[in-house]
């Protein structure tokens, strides 16, 4: 482009100042949209032939040129120009230089509806990739759970030992969380699946554009119903980022469990060397950096969501240049979440459980204190009274510095005459798990059934 030639045409007598070009360019990041921008242009060109704007040879030239440009970008041989500002103008200018018919391609469209279309196409593909990665992580969790199906660990509330659970049951909790993420993305995809192309800059076009034809060509479920909303709507990006923010929070919670379990204090798991790092100073260190980064990266995904909401909150109708700032937030979230899902799925396949350490922790008889209260309930004691009586037994054991199972029967009787020798039978982890028969509990049979259910569900997503 000549230095005195403006990309805006006759309205401007000179080109943009260099500093303005540097400040306003977006090609450095929106080039990510090139394949989807080209797909949108191809469909638009076919529609222009259908309504008589293009001739058959012109369409052939445009399709050929766009295919050539796509191949060059794929191969890293395309010369991007900051003077052409964004991915759309770069591709259109390169096309027009090769084939004069390219000058007709922008007929009936604006960059406002063009970029909205490319972003929706890109996000449709991205959501599908995210869902596949979620399924891969779920599969890794199920595989781990099946591998260590017999391992029992303490369940925690307030990070204090609470009740015994199967490790598999704990892992399946994350499978359930990820399933909600999968469903949220599927739901968000419905709002992404709307074609804005044909809305123009703000008020459509005087040309007889066949929007339904373009929607079918590009695989959109429907076309937008309001041209002003179509070019200014970024709800679909916010919704995607919101779903990803919650997904990132779930990964952060999983990270925290893995970090705790890998400490010397817990020692429930050992993460493979290939998925840990060392210390530059302390030679003994083996750090769970993937989990720590997963926990940390949730902050940037949450930040991207807040940034987008802040970006939109004061914008008048319709398109405003502020919206250029949506892409880096979107791309960063997508890349962060996808890379986290993939590396976590790999890492989980290289975790070894220390079954002995888990067994020692789960052998704490206080994990079954609630079971003792339930025993009293079955003897006719109201639960609030039973809760108080077991609490008194726990306090007595602490006072005598003995396990609760070693309290003499005479002392049990002082607490309540209802207690007898059979009360101590509840202090069996195996019995405690097997007697939990309510739906969703860590009963071994129920957990195995859940694993079989999830294995079948996930096999259908491959």
Give, in degrees to the nearest 5, the angle at Cα 428 between 422 and 431: 95
- Three-class DSSP category at 365: helix
> Residue 39 to residues 34, 203, 219, 229, 442: CA-CA distances in angstroms?
9, 23, 11, 23, 50
- By C-alpha distance, which of 427, 240, 228 is closest to 336? 240
Nearest to 372, CA basis, from 433, 422, 444, 439: 422
Among the listed residues 279, 298, 387, 428, the single catalytic one is 279
Catalytic residue among 14, 158, 280, 422: 158
CA geometry: angle 322, 327, 331, nearest 5 deg: 155
CA distance 323 to 56: 36
Residue 449: Cβ within 10 Å count: 11
Known catalytic membership, residue 224:
no
Per-residue tokens: 98: 């090769």
Torsion of CA 94, 96, 98, 99, to 10 degrees: 150
Strands 152-157 and 160-166: antiparallel
DSSP 271: E
If you write DSSP's letter for every residue of 110-160 in order, what string do you get?
Answer: -HHHHHHHHHHHHHHHHHHHHHHHHHHHHHHHHHHHHHTTT-EEEEEETTE
Is position 307 annotated as part of the catalytic site?
A: no
Of 45, 36, 31, 46, which is closest to residue 90 (Cα–Cα)? 31
Give catalytic residues, as residue numbers. Answer: 158, 279
């Amino acid at each position: 482009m000549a230095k005195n030639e403006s990309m805006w045409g006759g309205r401007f007598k000179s080109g943009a100042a260099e500093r303005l070009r540097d400040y306003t360019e977006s090609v450095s990041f929106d080039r990510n949209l090139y394949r989807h921008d080209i797909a949108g242009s191809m469909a638009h060109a076919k529609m222009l032939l259908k309504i008589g704007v293009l001739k058959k040879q012109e369409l052939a030239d445009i399709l050929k040129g766009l295919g050539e440009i796509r191949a060059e970008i794929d191969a890293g041989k395309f010369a991007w120009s900051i003077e052409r500002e964004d991915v759309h103008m770069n591709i259109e200018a390169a096309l027009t230089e090769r084939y004069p018919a390219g000058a007709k391609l922008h007929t009936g469209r604006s960059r406002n509806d063009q970029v909205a279309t490319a972003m929706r196409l890109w996000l449709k593909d991205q959501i599908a990739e995210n869902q596949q990665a979620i399924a891969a992580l779920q599969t890794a969790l199920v595989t781990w759970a099946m591998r260590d199906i017999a391992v029992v660990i303490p369940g925690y509330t307030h990070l204090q030992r609470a009740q015994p659970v199967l490790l598999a049951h704990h892992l399946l909790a994350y499978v359930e969380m990820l399933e909600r993420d999968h469903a949220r993305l599927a739901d968000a995809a419905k709002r992404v699946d709307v074609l804005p192309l044909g809305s123009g800059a703000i008020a459509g076009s005087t040309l007889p554009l066949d929007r339904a034809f373009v929607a079918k060509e590009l695989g959109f479920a429907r076309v937008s119903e309001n041209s002003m909303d179509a070019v200014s709507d970024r709800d679909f990006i916010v919704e995607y980022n919101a779903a990803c923010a919650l997904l990132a929070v779930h990964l952060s919670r999983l990270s925290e469990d893995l970090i705790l379990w890998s400490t010397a204090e817990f020692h429930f798991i050992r993460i493979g060397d290939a998925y840990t790092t060392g210390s530059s100073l302390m030679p003994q260190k083996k750090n769970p950096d993937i989990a720590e980064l997963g926990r940390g990266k949730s902050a940037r995904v949450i930040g991207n969501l807040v940034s987008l909401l802040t970006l939109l909150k004061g914008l008048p109708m319709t398109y405003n240049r502020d919206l250029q700032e949506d892409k880096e937030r979107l791309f960063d979230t997508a890349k962060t979440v996808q890379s986290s899902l993939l590396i976590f799925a790999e890492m989980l396949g290289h975790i070894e459980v220390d079954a002995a350490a888990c067994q020692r922790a789960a052998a704490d008889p206080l994990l079954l204190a609630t079971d003792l209260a339930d025993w009293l309930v079955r003897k006719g004691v109201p639960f609030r009274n039973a809760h108080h009586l077991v609490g008194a037994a726990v306090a007595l054991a602490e006072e005598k510095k003995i396990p609760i199972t070693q309290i003499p029967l005479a002392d049990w009787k002082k607490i309540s005459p209802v207690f007898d020798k059979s009360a101590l039978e509840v202090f069996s982890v195996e019995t405690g798990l097997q007697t939990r028969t309510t739906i969703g509990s860590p009963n071994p049979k129920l957990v195995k059934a859940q694993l079989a259910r999830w294995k079948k569900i996930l096999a259908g997503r491959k």
